[in-house]
Chain A
Amino acid sequence: MSSPLYERYLRTLKRKQWLIGLARLSVLAAFLFLWELAARLKWIDPMLTSKPSLLWSSFREMATKGSLLHHTWISTQETLAGIVVSMALGTAIAVLFWWSTFASKVLEPYIVVLNALPKVALGPIFYIWLGDRYSVYGMAVAISVIVTIIMVESGFKEISKTKLKLMESFGATKLQMLRMVLLPASVPHFIATLKVNVGLTLVGVVMGEFLSSKAGLGYLIIYGGQVFQMNLVMVSITMLALLSVILYGLVNLLGRYARKKYHHET
């Protein structure tokens, strides 16, 4: 049973949330409207900027006749694979560092250097080693795996020593500590890492496609730029934005589910 005052508080809260959502949509609508208007009234050159109505029609055309969806699908696949591989590899390496202080001490400076190194510089190497298709995966993983290691490792370090001492007092093995404490305690860190990874992996994928690929949204963008087709560029960028929104939303859902399952309060 809640008091009328509390009900009123909830109603105002809800109204505020609605208002924020509405304002967000209005910003997008205003932006598209101004863009269209400016292009039609020749305030800006539509050759250089394209315009929303044109984007929509080229989207429909490219989606039905062209291969836009195919390219989007390629990039999606690359991104998903990149995320999964960097999460798995990064977590595995972080676990190794926790398991063996020696390994962690030995490899620490290399991680620092690799983290600071601009991964784009590795592009040609990946191209030569992995070819035009797999170099994209290489770039995606290269960009996100180091950050994954660092974030997951720092999550492990935050877990209190005495929690592990408690496990030790029951005679727990390292594997049991990992399974029963480190991994479940790190759920919030995994979610945070995943969020960062979505963004980074997309950067890696697009970068990889820029450099070498013959398919994907990054390739379309570069190609569109070369043949001076602003429509193609803009539509591809929009698809990229959509892709990141969807992935981000999925991670959020997953995060909410995992938090609930593991009782981690937000």
Chain B
Amino acid sequence: MAGHNERLPTSDTAKQPDHIELKRVGLSYFTPRQETEALRDINLSIGKGEFLSIVGPSGCGKSTLLSLISGMLKPTSGTVMIDGVEVSGTSPKVGYMLQHDHLFEWRDVLSNVTVGAEIRRMDRVKARRKAVELLERYGLGEFVRHAPSQLSGGMRQRVALIRTLVAEPDILLLDEPFSALDYQTRLTLSEEVFHIIKDQGKTAVLVTHDISEAISMADRVMVMTKRPSTISSVREIRFDEGEQLSPWSKRQAGRYHDYFNAIWKELEDHVVSVI
């Protein structure tokens, strides 16, 4: 799927390591007042090009999990591996997309999307070319010289995604990237982002609290329990209508409601037991 995959499939006769792998990962936060055990015994592996959605009660440790994969947090116990190498610190292989776009208002759109490339000291000209190409491809070509404040919320989030893509990560971590948007923009944008991610052949981990978003975008949906959080279940999302459905058509597909109800029920149990 990924056109620029450097790994030669023939040379690897042994079992290929998973793209992202968490082994018995636990994480506790320490503050002067208390110790918060956010994650406990998380075992998870994610394949190349896969799209995984994570849902769970709020405050259960979903963002924490993403921070662990990104290398911004070190696990208290267990290991996080990317391509068979233990994660220690942030890596160019991973791109992060947050709830708020955090575009820099003192930069225009173009120099906003090259921020990551600039930090990583990537080739300036190449980064620029790639940025313009992506902006044009995803409908922002005429806004290259605009200030972020001149864009709508949905457009700003698309710019934020392109900023992540210009830095050329293999893995995209999306932490509730649509939750600050109104419902209609959310639907459209999640559709667009899905196509961009598939188009670019990236591996994606999406945290959301919108169950239908989770189902319609992902190959698998993972449900987490309340704190200390463990994995409650991981579901393959498969539709009889076909393999390559868009989020929009998945929402209309036959098994969609069964998935929705099952996940809803599961989450409800966790949320209720919190109260």
Contacts and interface: CB of A to CB of B under 8 A. Distances in A.
A187 B120 CA distance: 25
Contacts of A180: 104, 115, 118-119
B59 interface: no
B106 A169 contact: no
Interface string A158-179: 0010110111111110001000
Interface residues of A, number: 22
A167 B70 CA distance: 12
B129 interface: no
B102 A162 contact: yes
Contact of B119 (A176, A261, A264, A265): A176
A165 B63 CA distance: 12
Interface stretch (B87-95, B190-198, B212-220, B260-268): B87-95
A129 B7 CA distance: 70
A64 B181 CA distance: 68
A180 B96 CA distance: 18
A181 interface: yes
9 contacts: A160-B100, A167-B119, A169-B72, A169-B95, A171-B90, A171-B91, A180-B118, A261-B106, A263-B107
Interface of B: 70, 72, 89-92, 94-96, 98-100, 102, 104-108, 115-116, 118-120, 147-149, 167
Contacts of A168: 72, 90
A163 to B, nearest CB: 5
A264 B95 contact: no
A184 interface: yes
Given A170-B90, A170-B167, A171-B89, A181 B104 contact: yes
A169 B149 contact: no
A262 interface: yes
Contacts of A163: 102, 104
A191 interface: no
B110 to A, nearest CB: 13
A185 interface: yes
B206 to A, nearest CB: 16
A166 B92 contact: no
A157 to B, nearest CB: 17
Contact of B90 (A162, A169, A265): A169
Contacts of A172: 119
Nearest to B101: A166
B120 A166 contact: no
